[in-house]
Structure 1
Amino acid sequence: MECTAAVLLLGLLWALLWLLYDKKSKTTTSRLPPGPPALPLLGNLPQLDRHAPFKSFLKMSQTYGAVMTVHLGWQRTVVLVGYEAVKEALVDQADDFAGRMQMPFLYKATGGYGLGISNGERWRQLRRFTLTTLRDFGMGRKGMEEWIQEESQHMRARMDSYKKAPFDPTFLLGCSVSNVVCCLVFGQRFNYEDTDFHQLLAIIKELVMFVASPLGQMHNIFPGLIERLPGHQHKVFAHMETVRSFIKKKIQQHADTLDSSSPRDYIDCFLNRIQQEKDNASSEFFYDNLVSTVMNLFMAGTETSSSTIRYALSVFIKHPDIQEKMQQEIDDVIGRERCPNMEDRKSMPFTDAVIHEVQRFLDIVPFSLPHYTLHDVSFRGYTIPKDTIIIPLLHSVLKDEKQWAEPWSFNPQHFLDHNGDFKKNPAFMPFSAGKRACVGESLARTELFIFITSLLQHFSFSCVGGPDSVNLTPEFSSFANVPRQHQLIATPR
């Protein structure tokens, strides 16, 4: 009897929630884009593939169109599918879609400070300063390109030390890419044997894998619930504090040795700006913003580029003919003695095309970082209310069948014309587009070209199981596509 009463009570509660939800939907979504019916509390979550939710959005768009409304739990979300819709929103209506959702995981990591998930005047001040500062150091006496060239030599030397024995390149590539970011941000590189550095790289990789996992996505949707439950997430949260402590220690070391007339790196420039604007009440240059922006740059600049290079090596093993053709072009243009530089790229269309295709095919951030409407927005005849999450589905742009001849195959011809010259494609958006495009895009492009070209200049890559043993399908496919780890062999040329 008590059991029956409990079931009836639960049923009545469910019905009440549905009525409240339905009433709220009708009053606030009369001009929203169409979308699938949603359940109370859960929204459309039961309809999503938890391992690859972007595939579920693609399938839904076949019914509801390129602009559709879904509910992730209670969160009203508009998903933009395909190049035309994403470009129209992020580029043509850039001001309307420049807001950034404060993702709970990133908010927990940064306290809402820093560049990554800020909006309004904070975002404008920090973005302008960051772009200018990174550009200035890129053109300095020891600029971005020279740092990358120097680091590529350290990377090649370590790879050569394996003497053609199989090895996992994950940490080596992570060290190399992270050292470039460390030079720009901290003014120093770390030895590959540094155990503290290794620990930080392991933490960053674990944080990215957590965000890409179903548990990480549930935390972004139901943060209060997930943070109260026992589980792996608490270890991840503790790791975030380890990274913050490392950054705070570096900032203190910079403050203790600062010469305001000769800034060494990004932190010095920020500390100078804090001093210059200490009497400006509206300034966004203060300690918490420095800590969190450095954290944004350090973490984002490490994992994405190193994962892309690691994926490229897997592609070369999978497609040895492509590897050989790139090496021939490298030999013809650069030879095997001097370091590659960005000027070489103009004379290397096939290599440039392959690197672009690696980025397109990997599709490392299929959702982009979610945007957010800071006011009511009119778009394609719909009204998207303030406080709506916007997901520009970059996966649907990089795999748009109207923009790419063979979107589901690895094909460098996507970036080559009939004469074999490099050609741009406006649907190439791995760094997103518009006012929220990645601030590190220039750095990442330089890293990918110099590191990849330098590796193929000196090594041929293979694996014990041969090309057929390489799986190019990502290990995780949620917020981020994380490439699988493979043991590879680097044979000196």
Structure 2
Amino acid sequence: MLDFAIFAVTFVIILVGAVLYLYPSSRRASGIPGLNPTDEKDGNLQDIVNRGSLHEFLVSLHQEFGSVASFWFGRRPVVSLGSVEQLRQHINPNHTTDSFETMLKSLLGYQSGMGGGANETVIRKKVYESAINNTLKNNFPLVLKLVEELVGKWKSFPEAQHTPLCAHLLGLAMKTVTQLALGERFRDDTEVISFRKNHDAIWSEIGKGYLDGSLEKSCSRKGHYDEALSEMESVLLTVAKERKAQRKQTVFVDSLLQSSLTERQIMEDCMVFTLAGCVITANLCIWALHFLSTSEDVQEKLYQELEDVLGSDPVSLDKIPQLRYCQQVLNETVRTAKLTPVAARLQEVEGKVDQHVIPKECLILVITAASFRFDPDRFEEESARKSFCLLGFSGNQTCPELRFAYTVATVLLSTLVRQLKLHKLKGQVMEVRSELVSTPKDETWITISRRS
């Protein structure tokens, strides 16, 4: 009888412990101060929605729990670091994956690796990065040509005309990314328009799904999304087959075709680059021009650097590293507008911040935009640039799509600012939002005038 009583008590204790552990609302992420999940499946997703954006949610989280705080995204524990000081302590020595890519591939239903472990993942990432670098080197004149076409169009506008940044710069990004990624087929505007239709349908649902998980609840939306994704995948597979038959080696997909990747993996990498590359490039250009239009002093300082370094010559790849202030403008644009997904990292090995242990498989987020005042001069000091690189910005290898976007944006600024002045539209209110990437709430308008 006594043995049975001991067994019964032990069983109850184990059962209660299992319930407390397995039921999400009863535990905190990793024992770090923070929120318990409010829903077993969605974690704190509804709390994020209630706050209006991920950024607002994180700000309130750190106000309540301090500089190291936790919450749940679905069933995955998340640790948010509230300052660069905590980031410097963050230990993740075997960091091999880009968490933006991991997150995006997960949402698309793709496998992030090659199926053979960490070494294959590293190899695949190197192939991807090398393909982007080679594409920029081989096609830089094309980037310059597309930018000059846009600037020439703007020069023809009357000075009082309102110029829509989003429409024009998303168009520039779409043309640049598709032609550099997939080749001559996308010199045809009808191909670009078809691509944009499917791109917009996929990306808008990725953004919504990340915040509210509503895609699966609407049959019509899910059907529209699946159709757009299927059409995009079909186009990418067709392009890869055509390029392989032609044996050309000039654009992104060509570099992938020279590797040992499978047909499916090539399609997935083309999807990630075209989806993320278009949005990040467009947003970087939109926000950079918007911020320049609000500061005549910054515009003039940038103009002077461009005159000193380039004179009347067009920008070239070898001249870009000399444009230090242009780099500062783009760094400050990224810091202020948060174009990438809140500087996320996937914890691959156990780490530690302050007294807190960061477990393996935790997602690490960093709040980067504590001050929204646009001030490129903050990046004059080397220490500021190093702190910025810690966050995975400024062309760091953790986000090759952002490195691509920096190149396109530098070409745009160096061409545009030497010919035109940008002016803010009076009465326009801009809102910086944090979703997968931040975008203007509505169309962003400026006016332009010629430089004398």
TM-score (norm 2): 0.81
**2:255 matched to which residue of 1?**
269
**Aligned CA distance change for structure 1 residues 56 and 273 (closer, same or farther; 3 Å):** closer
Deviation at 1:434, TM superposition (A): 12
**2:230 matched to which residue of 1?**
241
Q: Matches of 1:380 and 1:189 in 2, distance apart? A: 53
**Aligned CA distance change for structure 1 residues 34 and 77 (closer, same or farther; 3 Å):** same
Which residue of 147, 164, 171 corresponds with 2:167?
171
- Structure 1 contact 362–481 (Cα < 8 Å) conserved: yes
Counterpart AA for 1:134: I
Query: 2:389 aligned with 1:426, yes or no?
Result: no
- Structure 2 contact 105–272 (Cα < 8 Å) conserved: no
Q: Matches of 1:381 and 1:99 in 2, distance apart? A: 26
**Aligned CA distance change for structure 1 residues 424 and 248 (closer, same or farther; 3 Å):** same
Counterpart AA for 1:230: C
- Structure 1 contact 168–487 (Cα < 8 Å) conserved: yes
After TM superposition, list the pairs within 5 Å mapping 1:290-305 onto structure 2. 290-305=266-281
**2:440 matched to which residue of 1?**
483
- Structure 2 contact 86–354 (Cα < 8 Å) conserved: no
Deviation at 1:293, TM superposition (A): 0.4
Deviation at 1:149, TM superposition (A): 1.9
Q: Matches of 1:437 and 1:338 in 2, distance apart? A: 32
**1:7 matched to which residue of 2?**
none
Where do 5+ consecutive residues of structure 2 fail to align? 1-14
Deviation at 1:431, TM superposition (A): 4.1
Query: 2:154 aligned with 1:159, yes or no?
Result: yes
Considering only aligned residues, what root-mean-square deviation do their CA atoms show, in Å? Answer: 3.7
- Structure 1 contact 305–444 (Cα < 8 Å) conserved: yes
Q: How many residues align?
A: 431
SS in 1 for 2:94: coil
Where do 5+ consecutive residues of structure 1 fail to align? 1-16, 220-224, 275-284, 400-406
SS in 1 for 2:422: strand
After TM superposition, list the pairs within 5 Å mapping 1:65-464 onto structure 2. 65-89=66-90, 92-95=91-94, 98=97, 100=99, 106-107=105-106, 109-112=108-111, 120-139=118-137, 143-164=138-159, 165-188=161-184, 190-191=186-187, 194-213=189-208, 215-219=209-213, 226-230=215-219, 232-258=221-247, 263-274=249-260, 285-335=261-311, 337-345=312-320, 348-368=323-343, 370-374=344-348, 377=351, 380-388=354-362, 390-393=363-366, 396-399=367-370, 407-416=371-380, 424-429=384-389, 431-432=392-393, 437-462=398-423
SS in 1 for 2:38: coil
- Structure 1 contact 32–384 (Cα < 8 Å) conserved: no
Q: Matches of 2:400 and 2:368 in 1, distance apart? A: 20
Identical positions, percent:
14
**Aligned CA distance change for structure 1 residues 166 and 54 (closer, same or farther; 3 Å):** closer
Q: Matches of 1:473 and 1:19 in 2, distance apart? A: 46
**Aligned CA distance change for structure 1 residues 88 and 107 (closer, same or farther; 3 Å):** same
SS in 2 for 1:392: strand
**1:473 matched to which residue of 2?**
431
**1:6 matched to which residue of 2?**
none
**Aligned CA distance change for structure 1 residues 205 and 426 (closer, same or farther; 3 Å):** farther
Q: Matches of 1:105 and 1:18 in 2, distance apart? A: 37
Q: Matches of 1:321 and 1:434 in 2, distance apart? A: 25
Q: Matches of 1:366 and 1:109 in 2, distance apart? A: 16
Counterpart AA for 1:127: K
- Structure 2 contact 78–365 (Cα < 8 Å) conserved: no
SS in 1 for 2:163: coil
Counterpart AA for 1:446: T
Deviation at 1:127, TM superposition (A): 0.8
TM-score (norm 1): 0.75
Q: Matches of 1:321 and 1:39 in 2, distance apart? A: 48
Deviation at 1:482, TM superposition (A): 0.8
- Structure 2 contact 280–402 (Cα < 8 Å) conserved: no
**1:33 matched to which residue of 2?**
32
**Aligned CA distance change for structure 1 residues 383 and 160 (closer, same or farther; 3 Å):** same
Q: Matches of 1:97 and 1:65 in 2, distance apart? A: 29
**1:54 matched to which residue of 2?**
55
Deviation at 1:108, TM superposition (A): 5.0
Q: Matches of 1:346 and 1:433 in 2, distance apart? A: 12
